[in-house]
Structure formats: structure tokens, C-alpha cells
Structure 1
Amino acid sequence: MVMNYIWDLLIQAEEEGFLTKDIYFHLAKIYSPYMELSPQLLNSQVVEQHVEVNPYYRYFQIFKELFQPDHTTDEAFRDSLLDITLHFLAEIDRMQGLNKKEYYIRFMLRDIEENVFGELVRDKIKSFSKKEQEIVALNMLRLYQTGEELYLIKDTLKNIFRNCFIYVKSEEKDELLLYIHQKKTTENINKVQLIQEIFLPIGFHMEVYWQYHFGIIDVEETMKLDRIALY
């Protein structure tokens, strides 16, 4: 898929961990009249921080006087004005493409950032990618609507940790056993702690196993020597 629009580029940049303010738009020296972005390689999917743009593709009426050939002064100012204005226009593009659910997700993430749900949630949400943050925020909204804590903690974990298994054990006490087929890193621990904080039902305890599954009788895959955790 070829990126052609400024909003398209900013979305991909955020998904790769850039801030929108890290992207700088410049007037392209050579550009196609049929494309908004003017990368050197047309099929490139690499996000560059300095991006050449054809601002006349959609915004001729706005920029037609900004870079006239006889304007030779204040070039740095005009370049900065182009960058600021294109960022503003790209944000308008993105807002117009949002539906009601996506607005609610943005409001929820803003509340997390503003410490509405506590310091633990505010600090540990930074360990999630942008897409993962949206998964968490969406399920928080669903939690308000349905109150289905047990279902939503399992759904969130499975969407964040693709290779995980969750077992509900309630004979003696309400307990979740979580197995994650990943290494126990600080980032992964932060993710689990945030999900527990938001979704774990009151009265439940969750035991987490990393990398090695605990043994289950008659399940050969979980009973391999040197690759088994004790429960």
C-alpha cells in the first residue's frame, strides 16, 4: 500500500513510535501533480522524519501565494508556516474520519494520561503500543457498558499477548492462571499489571507463568523436562 496523504503518513508514523511533532513537512523540489507526498521511492513504506510534500494537490487555494518564484526572503519562516499548517490540516483530516467509538477511545486515553485512573495506570500505559492502548481503552468502555470483568480481562490479555492461555480455577478460591509464552521483561510485566489493575474482578487472584507452562497431567506438551513450571 502506497502512502499518498499527509494524514496517512502521520498515522503510520505514530504506529512506528514517532510523535507527530517529530515529522516535518517541506515543499518538494520536484513533485507529481497527482500525489500529495513526494518520496524519492514511490513504494517506500519507511517513515522519514523530513517529508517532501506537494501542498497544491489538495490545498492550492491555501498555499498558492506562499512560494511564489519572486519570493526570495523569509524562506525559513515560510517553510515553518507550511509545516505547521499541514499538521493542522492533517489533524482535521483525521478528525473527519473518526466515528463515535473512536472519539470515546481518545477521551478514555486522555483520562488515563490525566491520572483519572491512578498513577499505576497512567505510568504503565506507556509500555503499550498505540494499537494496544486502543485495545485497552475500548475494553474499558465495554467494561462500563457490560460489567463483564472476567470476560474482558481474558479478551484484553489475548489481544495483547497472542500466545497466552488463561485458566479459571474456583474450587477453593477464585483464581486465574495465566500462561504467557514470552520472556518476563519489564515491559511485559507492566502490561500485565495494568490489565490486572483495571479488569481483574474483586476477590480474584491471578498467578502469572512466563515462558514455561505449568504441568498438566495427560497433556504431553506441558510435561517436558526442563521446560515446565511448578504450580
Structure 2
Amino acid sequence: MNYLWEAMLQLRKQGVTESTVRFKMPQRFSSYMELSIPCLNQEEMKEGEVIEVNPYYRFYNIFKDFYQPDLKDYPMLRDNLFHLIFHLLAQNDALSGMTKEEYHKKLLYRDLEECAFGESARNAIGLFTRDEREFILSGMLKQYETGSSLDMFKDMMEELIPDNIVYHSNQNSYEILVFIGRRMDKTLEGKMGFLVNMFVELPYHVEIYYEHHFGIMAIEETMEIDEIIMC
């Protein structure tokens, strides 16, 4: 990490409370780097992290008179102001690189958290990791732009649910059969409920089979005794 915005994004990625972070003027720093961190390849942050920032790298006009050599009065006040100002700068820095899509995804996630899609959706979105949520939000935005499709549902399944096969019934064009080669648990059930509700449009109906595959005539692999489900 070299830039302030990189540190902020890493904090958010790890779920670290930003208010616990302390920004500090370093005693020694490189004129070619913004962050003065112990390890150049540092990738993780922790609660209560002290981040030393070179204020002259990008914010010289703000801090040019802040730490003059002959300025000895009120050192604690200046340190606290330094910390507060950089908290504001860090927030703006993290937002300045945000694309229109990322901004819309942030608003969409806020709607999910505030139960705009229902309480079950709010609870279910917490079952996914941060990267998985990013993928879901991108899919929801694409759905708003292009409309719902079974291909989008299949993409979500492929990315988020391991060991699955999605079938489109030949007998009923509105029936979707999903096989998941894992034992059902509350987390998996919650994830599947969310994906079906968000990405399968009416009048399609989804049947989900866990652990054991359903039998398909003429397909020997699916017709093993005690290893199939009748549907």
C-alpha cells in the first residue's frame, strides 16, 4: 500500500472500524511515498492501527505550515488536528476513485440493509462474503439494465454455490431444477432462497435437490439405487 485510499479500502474490506484508526505524522518518511508503513508489502490492517502519512506528498498546501521547525507550541493539539483532518481526507480519497457503478452498488447495498427488499433479503445478504456481495450487486445492477434471465441466475449459481447443476425442464418450460451436491444446512438454504428470489422471475418455479441427484431416465449415473431422489 502506498496511497491513503488503498488503506481505507483495505480497512473496509476487512471490516475494521475506521474510527479506531489513528493517523499520525511520521518522524521519518520517504518523499516518494504517501504511507510510511513498516512493510512495503503490507496487505492487512487491524483495529487501532496507527497509520503514518506523509502530508506533503499530495496535501502540501494544507500542511505546509503545520509542522514548521520553529513551531513548538501546542504539539498535542496539532497532532489531534492532523488526525481529524486526515480522517476527512481519507473518506474523500476513498470516494474520489469510485465509479458510477460502484456508487450505485453502494446505494443498492444500503437498500438491502434497510429492508427495502424485505427482512429475509437483509438477513440473507449477510451470509455472503464481501467479494460475493460485490458479485451479487453487480448482477442486480445488470438485471435492472437488461431484465431478468435464466442465464444470469446460472451465472450467480456458478460463482456463488459450489457443486451445482441447473436444469431447465423439457416437460414444463417454467420449471427449473437445481441439484447441489452438498448436504443442506441453514446457510446454504438461506443463500439459495436469496438467489432464487432475486434472480428468478415469475412465472418460473425452482425445485432444489440437495446431496442426492434426481433420477433421469436413460442416464445411468443418475439411476443408482439409494443414491437418487424421485421427482
TM range (shorter): 0.7 to 0.9
Q: Which has the larger radius of gyration?
A: 2
**What are the ranges of 5 or more consecutive residues in structure 2 without an aligned counterpart?**
none
Is 2:39 the counterpart of 1:38? no
Is 2:199 the counterpart of 1:189? no
**What are the residue-to-residue correspondences of 1:108-187 with 2, within 5 Å?**
108-172=108-172, 174-181=174-181, 184-187=184-187
In structure 1, C-alpha distance between the alignment counterparts of 2:142 and 2:57, rounded to whole Å: 41
> Could you say which residue in structure 1 is the equivalent of 2:62?
62
Residue among 1, 13, 23 paired with 1:15: 13
> Could you say which residue in structure 2 is the equivalent of 1:104?
104
CA contact (8 A) 1:209 1:229 kept: no
Q: What's the CA shift for 1:46?
A: 2.5
Q: Deviations over 1:40-72 (max 9, x none)?
A: 122222224412222222112212333445445
Task: Report the TM-score, using the length of structure 2 for normalisation.
Answer: 0.79
CA contact (8 A) 1:108 1:137 kept: yes
> Could you say which residue in structure 2 is the equivalent of 1:214?
213
CA contact (8 A) 1:14 1:130 kept: no
The AA in structure 1 aligned to 2:95 is M
In structure 2, C-alpha distance between the alignment counterparts of 1:208 and 1:102, rounded to whole Å: 32
In structure 2, C-alpha distance between the alignment counterparts of 1:13 and 1:182, rounded to whole Å: 33
Q: What's the CA shift for 1:5?
A: 0.6
Distance 1:208 1:114, change over 3 A: same
CA contact (8 A) 2:16 2:46 kept: no
Distance 1:187 1:36, change over 3 A: farther
Q: What's the CA shift for 1:163?
A: 4.1
> Could you say which residue in structure 1 is the equivalent of 2:86?
86
The residue matched to 1:166 in structure 2 has which SS? strand
Task: Report the TM-score, using the length of structure 1 for normalisation.
Answer: 0.79
In structure 2, C-alpha distance between the alignment counterparts of 1:91 and 1:112, rounded to whole Å: 22
In structure 1, C-alpha distance between the alignment counterparts of 2:67 and 2:165, rounded to whole Å: 59
In structure 2, C-alpha distance between the alignment counterparts of 1:198 and 1:80, rounded to whole Å: 46
Q: How many pairs align? A: 225
Residue among 19, 24, 27 paired with 2:25: 27
The AA in structure 2 aligned to 1:17 is G
CA contact (8 A) 1:175 1:204 kept: yes
Q: Deviations over 1:151-175 (max 9, x none)?
A: 2222222222354322222514733
Q: What's the CA shift for 1:229?
A: 5.5
The residue matched to 1:56 in structure 2 has which SS? coil
In structure 1, C-alpha distance between the alignment counterparts of 2:181 and 2:18, rounded to whole Å: 33
The AA in structure 1 aligned to 2:16 is F
Distance 1:54 1:151, change over 3 A: same
The residue matched to 1:127 in structure 2 has which SS? coil
Q: What's the CA shift for 1:27?
A: 2.1
In structure 2, C-alpha distance between the alignment counterparts of 1:59 and 1:11, rounded to whole Å: 19
